[in-house]
Amino acid sequence: MIAEQGGPLDLHFVIVGDGPAKPALEADVARMGIEDRVSFTGIVQREDIAAYIAQFNIALQPDVVAYASSLKLFEYMALEKPVVAPDTPNIGEVLQHNQNARLFPQGDENAFCVQVEELALDRALRERLGKAARQTILDDDYTWLGNARAVAQVGQDLQAS
């Protein structure tokens, strides 16, 4: 639950999926004594992912590798979720700070937390960024069909040259 502006900040985190970082995250949660504020879903079936994301107030992308854009980022955007993500070149190809997401310097945990807190306390900001993220998906054609069109265009360009 996220409180409105001026109210107490009562956050609950849902970690969807599984992976090599999960045991360390679970250990950190236990060490901090916040098991009641963090849920781990484990592996989720592909067809159930949208239902989990639909429950998010804020979608978090705390880190990203330099050579790819995360599929989950596009899932968040398509479902109108405000995103907090690192300000890296590959993320910057898709998201702009305060336009369709909240960005922070990669690796800066304090800046990450500030962005989450600001979004948690401001429903209007969450709604504005979520809608702008969805619009980015539509405007820039970040869809499977859009990707297919781009690949087909590359093939046509190669044939023409």
**Number of domains observed in the structure of the chain:** 1
Domain-located, residue 8: no
Domain-located, residue 61: yes
The structure's pTM equals 0.85
Domain-located, residue 22: no
Domain-located, residue 52: yes
β-strand pairing of 59-60 with 38-42: unpaired
Instruction: Count, in order, helices (H) and strands (E) of the chain.
Output: 7, 5
pLDDT tens per residue across span 48-80: 999 999 999 999 999 988 877 788 999 999 999
CATH number at residue 91: 3.40.50.2000
The sheet with strand 59-60 has its strands ordered as: 59-60, 83-86, 102-104
DSSP conformation letters of 92-129: HTT--BTTTBEEE-TT-HHHHHHHHHHHHT-HHHHHHH
Domain-located, residue 141: yes
The whole domain housing 86 covers 48-155
pLDDT tens per residue across span 107-150: 999 999 999 999 999 999 999 999 999 999 999 999 889 889 98
